Structure 1
């Protein structure tokens, strides 16, 4: 679809939203607009609107992006750590698997809402998905 003059006029009228503050607020699980309201109702369920500023958050769709990022970061960090632990102390396979299984689950559960908030902050700043 070609870029029309109507779209150029729309882009000139709409002020740009700063991305980095929105990303930082999302990582802290706060509203990307004001930074005061909570982003989630529960563990991963987004609020329909910010409780503080009223920003509509119902159109945000993070989908699988946060999960892919969590897998990438968790595998890199724990894989490197596992190699270092094994070469340094050479623990038994059951101990190694138990330690790193618990570590992987804990790290994934910690990172998932933060990465989802980051993706929502990026979408809000770039005016994607109805923001």
Structure 2
């Protein structure tokens, strides 16, 4: 069992690349964010994959910190009009969020697989 765990590819490289967490070869996504039913290379069933809102929350925190920090710096340093802030920072926030969403969801799914994460159950 421990040998199987050590033979797995890195969940970070496979998740960020959108590859199967078991073999590292097959594609994880079918479209932009829809997870495939199974890996085409090794046949792993992706039914376990439920990243929920986790990646979105982390992305909002990361993008919010970066974009807001840059916007505050520009405001203090240059004092541009508000319309210029809107033209610069709103599209940048959308681009940063969309660029990070797929890799973060892939990472969440890969870490779920490696750590054998599943829904909690109450024992009777």
State the TM-score, normalized to the length of structure 1.
Answer: 0.81
Query: For 1:13-52, what aligned pairs fall within 5 Å after superposition?
Result: 14-15=1-2, 17=5, 21-52=10-41
Query: For 1:91-130, what aligned pairs fall within 5 Å after superposition?
Result: 91-129=80-118
Write out the 4+ residue segments of structure 1 that deviate beyond 3 Å after TM superposition.
none
Higher alpha-carbon deviation: 52-61 or 102-111? 52-61
- Distance change (3 Å), C-alpha of 1:20 and 1:79: farther
Residue ranges of structure 1 left out of the alignment (5+ in a row): 1-13
State the TM-score, normalized to the length of structure 2.
Answer: 0.86
Residue 82 (structure 1) aligned with residue 71 (structure 2): yes
- Distance change (3 Å), C-alpha of 1:91 and 1:20: farther
The CA RMSD over aligned residues, in Å, is: 1.8
Residue ranges of structure 2 left out of the alignment (5+ in a row): 120-124
Aligned to 2:46: 57
